[in-house]
Structure 1
């Protein structure tokens, strides 16, 4: 028997990886995720992607989250726009990022043979979990931008925090056609502490998530049947 988990409250796409994204009223979703999501990235000469941390795959590039990206007119076939911290589009994304970061070895590049997706195609977060984070760090501004989900799902009153854990291993229908499979949760890092636009830096956020839930937050999903997602769509556990 199916069960309604909630409704789609917000849809996010991040055209340039590790920058702020764009809110959508609806989006196409295919096997890779929201179409156009993280299709571009800031990449250094070694092929590492700009991020808030240093690893074999990532290069720490502080300040990227203060920038935003979007597709002009929502057309994914176009190169995304990069917006400066004041929300003004820049004419040359690569040239701007080089000046902004103070380094000449970076480019804004389209995905090639190495995927820009960190883990799985879709990140789904509930308002129940987001509300818990806000209560765990009083005085620190918190919204879903900290956690960069693709879908924020409005859950019914009384839904417990981290309810996403209960969905793992299950499948859901979103709207008319989209089908996804819940696989696992994300392991969070310092990125959720980083400043972006009107959200200040705060180490309390990662600390709270680590103490309460072993740094895990959201649920990651694969796409088993492509479709469209729209604001207000029902998310139904199958």
Structure 2
């Protein structure tokens, strides 16, 4: 048993990498992350190159519907050029780790000006938004293990250009809004920011 340090306030799945996310009441979490998360990428229809939010910020304003044909039409109209959605055969297309967690406190600190370069306080693009009591900072969990719902996560690093922390899945299962966040005694070794 560990120490309960907070709860899950919101769960977000991003079906298409770089697009806006959808809030869900619960999610299945596999070894590679939340099921259905970042399962597709936007690619240029002519060149086949990936189109990302870093090079094309208007992607973040589009929320995937789950209908790849409709999403492709919308994206082509928004971007003014032909694109297509490419499925990932290797699981979620994440940049650094399977699950991205951020606390409400981190979002509030960012809104007050404590924002890493290149990060958005308005949309940290995290999978799990956590409610932690005053003074608890998820960045202190690097190298520790968490249990959230049925899922056990090793917190492995802080993002270089984003809020919160990244974690790898040690025990898959389900997580739901309202689930307790339990800090366990052991976990992964610390890793430098990605």
2:170 matches 1:224: yes
Partner of 1:109: 86
Q: Which residue of 2 aligns with 1:118?
A: 95
Q: After TM superposition, give the deviation of residue 93 of structure 1 in Å.
A: 2.4
State the aligned residue count: 178
Query: CA separation of 1:25/1:100 partners in 2, compared to 1, >3 Å: closer, same or farther?
Result: same
Aligned to 2:67: 81
Cα offset, 1:224, TM superposition: 0.3
Give 5+ residue unaligned stretches, structure 2. Answer: 115-119, 185-194
| CA shift for structure 1 position 109 | 1.6
The two structures have a TM-score, normalised by structure 1, of: 0.68
What CA distance in whole angstroms lies between the structure 2 residues aligned with 1:22 and 1:114? 18
| 1:165 alignment partner in structure 2 | 139
**When you count helix as a share of all residues, which structure comes out higher?**
1
Question: How far apart, CA to CA, are the structure 1 residues paired with 2:91 and 2:101?
Answer: 23
- Alpha-carbon distance between aligned partners in 2 of 1:187 and 1:49, rounded to the nearest angstrom: 21
Offset, 1:114: 8.6
CA distance 1:115–1:68, change in 2 (3 Å) = closer
Separation in 1 of the partners of 2:165 and 2:78? 33
Instruction: Provide the C-alpha distance between the structure 1 equivalents of 2:123 and 2:108, rounded to a whole number of angstroms.
Output: 13
Match of 2:192 in 1: none
Measured after TM superposition, the shift of residue 125 of structure 1 is 0.3
Q: Deviations over 1:22-65 (max 9, x none)?
A: 10111100111110000011112544322232xxxxxx223111
Q: What's the offset of the Cα at 1:232? A: 0.7
Say whether the 8 Å CA contact 1:15–1:38 is kept in structure 2. Answer: yes
Residue in 1 that maps onto 2:23: 23
**Correspondence for 2:12:** 12
* Contact 2:37 2:92 survives alignment (8 Å): no
- Structure 1 residues 164 and 48, CA gap change in structure 2 (3 angstroms): farther
Give 5+ residue unaligned stretches, structure 1.
Answer: 54-59, 71-79, 83-90, 138-142, 189-215
**Residues 107, 163 of structure 2: 8 Å contact kept:** no
Given that residues 127 and 155 in structure 1 are in contact (C-alpha distance below 8 angstroms), is that contact kept between their aligned partners in structure 2? yes
2:191 corresponds in structure 1 to none
1:66 aligns with 2:61: yes
Distance 1:47-1:121 versus aligned 2 partners, 3 A rule: farther
